Every structure is written in C-alpha cells, then in structure tokens.
C-alpha cells in the first residue's frame, strides 16, 4: 500500500486528515505512533524529526508530508475522491483555506492549550494562558456562528477542507468550553458534522482511547 499515515487515534489533527481520507475512500495504512516510547517512534522521527503528528508518507512518490492542510491538498491532487474537498474555483478555494485555518488556529490551538495545561504539575500551570485560551474560544464561537447562519458547511454549500478541520476542533473544544445558548447555528453545524459518515467512523475508532482524554469526565455518554 502506497500511503502510510503516522497518527494517534485520539489526536484532533490526526482526525482532520482521517476525515479527508474517509471522504475520498483512499486506501492507506495507519501507523499508530507512541511518542512516549523512543523505540516505537524512532521510525517516525526518521521521517519527520519535528515529531508532530500526523505525517503522511507516500511510498509510490517517495514523499513525506507533515501539516494537515498540506496533506489534504496533496491527497486531493494525487488521490482524489469523487467529491473534491478543495473547490476548483479560486475564490471558493480561498474561502475554504481561510476557514480551515480559522478552525485550526482559533479553535484547535486554544483548545489544546487548555487540555495540555491540565496535564502539568500543580505548580507549573498557566492560569493566565488558559483564561486567554478560553476567551479566544468564545470569540471564535461567535465568529463561526455568524459564518454558519446562512450556509450548511463552514465555507459554503459543500462539505470540504474547512469541515475536516472543524469537526475535531469543535468536538474537543466543546468539552473544555461548551457552546453557549447564543450559538444555535454552530451547535446545529456540529450535529451535522457528527452525522457525516467519515467523521462518525473517526469517532468510532477513537472511542477506545477517549478515557485518556484529560477532560474525560466532561465527555457525554453518547460519545463514550
């Protein structure tokens, strides 16, 4: 099999690429990486010394690609599905990239700040940084609410790149900073994402690992 995706089933950015692969029906081999085990992750670090997952290796083209958005664009270029995740129209593609970056930078990143802080020893936690991250999440929810009031998907009428980003970002962010009552469009959009077969499959595969999530006590029963 040409494609190997180095990942962990609990990682939100890995979920983003998995959604894209399942949307396209692209065959690949999943290689779970235990970054806490030097022997296990050594082959992965040989490919990408930065050590961030996911990373895609394409043996057919001898290419190694980090960074989720780059991986998804590469897959569309060389292993496309029936429905493109990035529109051919330049303006529509620009919007897709914009909202992809929005959910990565303003939802996923502050969510991870909050989650990682809980793993720190008591005397090393960053209360100020966590408060800033929560403020950014609430701001992002408001921006997303306005974007989603008039469209079914993040960047328009069709499921695409930005939705691959939004699904895991909102899934985990909703546990650490729940959506407010003034975000009905965002909440409805999240429910549509949960009904997407590609993302439902990702969550099924992640479920055995979910008890390791630092905020597991906030995870609703329907996801357990």
| 3-78 shares its CATH topology with 90-210 | no
Which DSSP string corresponds to 60-126?
TTTEEEESHHHHHHHHHHHS--SS-SS-SSHHHHHHHHHHHHHHIIIIIHHHHHHHHHHHS-GGG--
pLDDT in tens, 187-210: 999 999 999 999 999 999 999 999
CATH H superfamily, domain 3-78: Glutaredoxin (3.40.30.10)
What is the pLDDT, as a whole number, of residue 90?
96
- Fold of domain 90-210: Glutathione S-transferase Yfyf (Class Pi); Chain A, domain 2 (1.20.1050)
Question: Whole-model pTM?
Answer: 0.96
The domains of the chain are located at 3-78, 90-210
pLDDT in tens, 95-151: 999 999 999 999 999 999 999 999 999 889 999 999 999 999 999 999 999 999 999
């Amino acid at each position: 099999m040409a494609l190997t995706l180095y990942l962990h089933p609990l990682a939100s950015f890995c979920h983003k690429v998995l959604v894209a692969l399942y949307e396209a029906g692209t065959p690949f081999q999943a290689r779970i990486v235990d970054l806490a085990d030097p022997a296990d992750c050594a082959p992965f670090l040989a490919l990408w010394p930065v050590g961030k997952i996911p990373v895609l290796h394409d043996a057919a083209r001898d290419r190694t690609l980090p960074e989720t958005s780059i991986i998804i664009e590469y897959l569309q270029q060389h292993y496309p599905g029936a429905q493109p995740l990035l529109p051919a129209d330049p303006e529509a593609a620009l919007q897709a990239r914009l909202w992809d970056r929005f959910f990565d930078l303003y939802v996923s990143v502050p969510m991870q700040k909050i989650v990682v802080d809980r793993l720190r020893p008591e005397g090393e936690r960053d209360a100020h940084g966590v408060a800033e991250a929560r403020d950014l999440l609430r701001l992002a929810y408001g921006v997303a609410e306005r974007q989603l009031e008039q469209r079914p998907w993040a960047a328009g009428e069709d499921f695409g790149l930005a939705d691959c980003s939004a699904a895991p970002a909102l899934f985990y962010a909703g546990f650490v900073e729940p959506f407010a009552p003034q975000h009905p469009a965002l909440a409805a959009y999240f429910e549509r994402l949960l009904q997407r077969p590609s993302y439902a499959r990702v969550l099924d595969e992640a479920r055995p690992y979910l008890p390791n999530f630092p905020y597991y006590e906030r995870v609703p029963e329907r996801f357990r």
